[in-house]
Amino acid sequence: MSQTPVAILTGNPRKYSETFVRRHIAELNGGATVTVALSLDEADAGDDRLLACAPVRVIPPRKRWRKPLAAWRGDRAARQRDARIAGFLDRHRASPALCEFGYVATEVAPGLLDQGRSTFCYFRGNDASARLSDPDYRAALAEILPRIDGIVAVSRFLLDRLAAHGLQARRSLVVPSGTDTRLIMPGEVDPDLVLVVGRLVAKKDPLAALEIFAAGAPATARLEFVGDGPLAEALTTRAAELGLSDRVVLHGALPHDAVIARLRRAACVLQPFRTAADGDTEGMPSIVQEAMAAGVAVVTTAHAGVPEHVRHEETGLVHPEGATEALAESLARVLTDADLRARLGTAARRYAEAELDYRILYRRLESFMGLGA
């Protein structure tokens, strides 16, 4: 590897939900990267550019931040872990270091900073929303963030959430995860297909999506859920109660190429996000970015970073969280008005090409991190 690599520090890059991390590994800095994986067994590493380095369990995982950083940073296991990371980064001459997620930064940034390494942190959702309810996590971030070279978030919303808790760095940048507008393109539309994509959890509000579909969709429409999660059984039960079992399909988790194939055929992507009871939010949902790239009309809520990109009546239809009646009306409009679908989809596609293609976004991130300068 002739180009100086960037060090990417994450949990398990092979995890299904870390698609955007895998893209960073493959594409950021022209693909010149090395990876430290904190939740990957060493036996599964098998790559000279990958260091499998399990988290230091000095304190229980659910109470990871219950000690001041200085207390567990001096622990022997933590010192050994930090030394392994230092040796790996030195061997590859890797710089700077990018911590994917705030909680990864609380795990490894102290060691990186103590070694004098240029360090950045990328916030994506839960790490700048629900986790902030833990005062010890906030204290850990408060110690780290003023010392690092910069923080990146997928939405202004997340930076504002951090700032509201007094958590700021010297420099910050908003960069969504992005999408691949060369891969994801408009396809032949099935005018009856309504798609919901994502884990079946509270902040993605799949039960509300079902109720909105029941209230607003014409009798010929079908609702398909792609994703798994704890609300699957409740969805199946409620669909039966509504007499919609023959029009609602739960696919479970699908490979990304299969998701894109469904997306390119959809008449509408319905995503009624909401803030969960524990404060958990999205950052800037990947499915919204992908739907815009595919030129699909989006009916969604003004949640997290969504309104930073989806403009009501321009690139989608956006309503406040919980506005199920308005969302049902918008769904009915999209499914019964082909001209509206086309207008919204065309504008969304144009916006995605200009503002959400990951290649454009990576150049902004690389410039912020001082790469290629």
Residues 256-294 pLDDT 10s: 999 999 999 999 999 999 999 999 999 999 999 999 999
As a whole number of angstroms, the distance between CA 244 and CA 213 comes to 10
Same domain membership, residue 310 and residue 292: yes
Amino acid code (one letter) for 337:
D
Report in angstroms the alpha-carbon separations of 142 from 21, 59, 117, 157, 227. Answer: 24, 19, 18, 19, 35
At 57 the pLDDT is 44
Lowest mean pLDDT among 72-86, 168-182, 184-198: 72-86
Question: pLDDT class for 14, splitting at 50, 70, 90?
Answer: confident
Statement to judge: residues 241 and 137 lie in one domain: no
In a domain? residue 187: no
| Cβ atoms of residues 329 and 137 within 8 Å | no
- The pLDDT tens digits for 90-112 are 999 999 999 999 999 998 999 99
Cα-flanking dihedrals φ and ψ of residue 101, to 5°? 90, 145
In this structure, the answer to whether residues 216 and 140 fall within a common structural domain is no
CATH of the domain at 242: 3.40.50.2000
Could you give the dihedral angle defined by the CA atoms of residues 14, 18, 22 and 24, in that order, rounded to the nearest 10 degrees?
-150
Residue 70 has pLDDT above 80, yes or no: no
Q: What is the pTM of this model?
A: 0.93
Q: Are 326 and 313 in contact (CB under 8 A)?
A: no
Asked whether residue 363 is assigned to any structural domain, the reply reads yes
Angle at 135 between CA 132 and CA 141, to 5 degrees: 65
In this model, does residue 76 exceed pLDDT 90? no
Helices (H), ranges, the chain:
19-27, 69-73, 76-92, 102-114, 135-144, 156-164, 206-216, 232-241, 256-265, 286-293, 324-336, 338-355, 358-368
Tell me, yes or no, whether 199 and 140 share the same domain. no
Query: Which pLDDT value is given to residue 58?
Result: 38
Same-domain check for residues 63 and 139: yes
Question: What pLDDT is stored for residue 44 in this prediction?
Answer: 66
Q: In 3D, which of 342, 348, 286 has the Cα closest to residue 316?
A: 348
Range in 60-74, 121-135, 341-355 the model is least confident about: 60-74
Is 1 part of a structural domain of the chain? no
Instruction: Assess if residue 318 is contained within a domain.
Output: yes
Residue 192 clears pLDDT 50, i.e. is over it: yes
d(CA 287, CA 361): 17
Is the torsion defined by CA of 157, 163, 169, 171 positive or negative?
A: positive
> For residue 1, what pLDDT is reported?
46
Q: Of 303, 13, 362, whose CA–CA distance to 179 is shortest?
A: 362
Whether 183 maps to a domain, the answer reads no
Evaluate whether residue 185 is within a structural domain.
Answer: no
Whether 373 is in a domain gets the answer: no
Whether 364 and 351 map to the same domain: the answer is: no
The reported pLDDT for the residue numbered 15 is 83
DSSP letter string, 83-114: HHHHHHHHHHT--SEEEESHHHHHHHHHHHHH
- Over residues 21-66, the pLDDT tens digits come to 999 999 999 999 999 998 887 766 678 999 998 655 433 344 444 4
pLDDT of residue 2: 57
pLDDT at 68: 44
Q: Using CA atoms, how far apart are residues 333 and 315, in angstroms rounded to an integer?
A: 14
Separation of alpha carbons 30 and 249, rounded Å? 40
SS3 35: strand
Query: How far from each other are the two terminal CA atoms of the chain, in whole angstroms?
Result: 18
Q: Using an 8 Å Cβ cutoff, are 143 and 155 in contact?
A: no
User: Which residue from 169, 134, 174, 128 is spatially nearest to 154, judged by alpha carbons?
Assistant: 174
Are 17 and 36 part of one and the same domain?
A: yes
Provide the pLDDT for residue 225. Answer: 98
Same domain for 127 and 220, yes or no, is no
Confidence category of residue 74, pLDDT binned at 50, 70, 90 = low
Q: Residue 214: is its pLDDT beyond 50? A: yes
Q: Give residue 245's pLDDT.
A: 98
- Is the pLDDT confidence value at 365 over 70? yes
Specify if 297 maps to a domain. yes
pLDDT at 56: 54
Do residue 71 and residue 210 come from a single domain? Answer: no
Shared-domain flag, residues 349 and 260: yes
**Residue range of the domain that includes 315:** 193-355
Q: How many domains, in total, are found in the chain? A: 2
> Rounded mean pLDDT of 225-241?
98
Same domain for 97 and 167, yes or no, is yes
235 shares its domain with 126:
no
Give 197's strand partners: 226
